Amino acid sequence: QVQLVESGGGLVQPGGSLRLSCAVSGIMFSIYNMDWFRQAPEKARELVATITVDDSTHYTDSAKGRFTISRDNAERMVYLQMNSLKPEDTAVYYCRASTDYRVYWGQGTHITVSS
């Protein structure tokens, strides 16, 4: 079956960096757009970054200049490099794979940015 497994979360100090990974199996990975979402405590889930099937990238304003999404189709992996982290980045981060017809979600990985 389809699996999206996030890893790389944890506790980091403000200004620090983390790299999230999403390992994808069970789908033809190269035809899926990939996204990172996040959901902070008591807030709605929001889109953070997108990388399309043709490697076009998009970021929410708060992530621009700090976060970088990338994909490795051969390894079936999606990454989110997060630099200059702020307390407001604290959230559960979710990986999503999508086409026009199908959507799959990972279970999420926790990021806490705090001193």
Distance CA 56, CA 34 (A): 10
Name the average pLDDT for the chain: 97
**pLDDT value of position 34:** 98
Name residues whose C-beta falls within 8 Å of residue 33's C-beta, 6 or more positions apart in sequence. 50, 51, 52, 53, 97, 98, 99
Write the CB contacts of 112 (distance below 8 Å, at least 6 apart in sequence).
10, 11, 12, 90
Confidence of residue 43 (pLDDT cuts 50, 70, 90): very high
Strand partners, 49: 36, 59
pLDDT at 40: 97
Mapped onto helix, strand or coil, the DSSP state of residue 84 is: coil
